[in-house]
Structure 1
Amino acid sequence: MEKQPCVYILASGRAGTLYTGVTSDLLGRLHNHREGVTKGFASKHKALKLVWYEMHGEMEAAIVREKRIKKWNRDWKLNLIEQSNPEWVDLAVGLGFEPL
C-alpha cells in the first residue's frame, strides 16, 4: 500500500476505548501503535485493534474528517464502525499484520 491520507479508528474492544487518528502511512502507523513506538492515548488505553479506516485523496480532507469524527458522540462512532465492520474484526490482519 503506497502512502495515502487515511483516517482510522483503533479500539481496545467494543465496550472499550476508541482512538481516532489520521496518517499518510496507515501500515507504518499501525506498526508503531502495535509495537508501542507511538506513546500516547492509544497505547495507554490499549486501543490497538483497527476497526475502521477511510482513505482520502488529499491530507487536508483526511484531517477535516478526523476532526469531525473526534467531535462525534460515542454512538455515532459505533454506528460508523458497525456499518462496515459489524463483527469488530481487526482489519489490520487483512492488511498483513499478525492477529493481536
Structure 2
Amino acid sequence: MKNSYVYILTNKYRTTFYIGVTANLSKRLEEHYNETASKFTKKYNIKDLIYFETFNDINQAIDRENQLKNWHKDWKLNLIRERNPNLKTLEY
C-alpha cells in the first residue's frame, strides 16, 4: 500500500501557512520549491516544510487535510510545535 502525506509549508518569516496532501512528498516539495505547484505558495513565497503526517490511506490523508484547514492558526502552531518546537525547516 502506498503512503500519503499531509504537509504544512510556510514562508521564511513563519507568518503564512499552506496545507496540502500528496502521495509523493519529495516530488511535491520540489514543485513548491520551483514555484510550479500552487499560485498561493508562489505568491507568498511558501517553500519551507515544517510539518507532515504519513497515512496508509489517501482518504484518511484528505480528511486530515480538510480538518487542519478548518483549524485556527494557533491550533496549527501548537500542533506543529509538538514535533518541531522551533519551526525549523524539515528535510524530507
TM range, normalised to the smaller chain?
Answer: over 0.9
Question: Is contact 1:6–1:26 with CA below 8 Å preserved after alignment?
Answer: yes
Q: TM-score, normalised by structure 1?
A: 0.85
Question: Is contact 1:14–1:88 with CA below 8 Å preserved after alignment?
Answer: no
Q: 1:13 to 1:81 in 2, by over 3 A?
A: farther
User: Which residue number in structure 2 is paired with residue 64 of structure 1?
Assistant: 63
| Alignment partner of 1:52 is 2:51 | yes
Question: Is contact 1:8–1:21 with CA below 8 Å preserved after alignment?
Answer: yes
3-state DSSP of counterpart to 1:19? strand
3-state DSSP of counterpart to 2:50? strand
Cα RMSD between the aligned structures? 1.3
Q: TM-score, normalised by structure 2?
A: 0.92
Runs of 4+ in 1 over 3 A off after TM superposition: none
Q: For 2:25 and 2:3, how far apart are their aligned partners in 1?
A: 8
User: Which residue number in structure 2 is paired with residue 75 of structure 1?
Assistant: 74
What amino acid is aligned across from residue 65 of structure 2 in structure 1? E
- Give the unaligned 5+ runs of structure 1: 96-100
Structure-to-structure mapping, 1:17-96, within 5 angstroms = 17-91=16-90, 94-95=91-92
**What is the number of equivalent residue pairs in this alignment?**
91
Deviation at residue 33 of structure 1 after TM alignment: 0.2
Percent sequence identity is 37
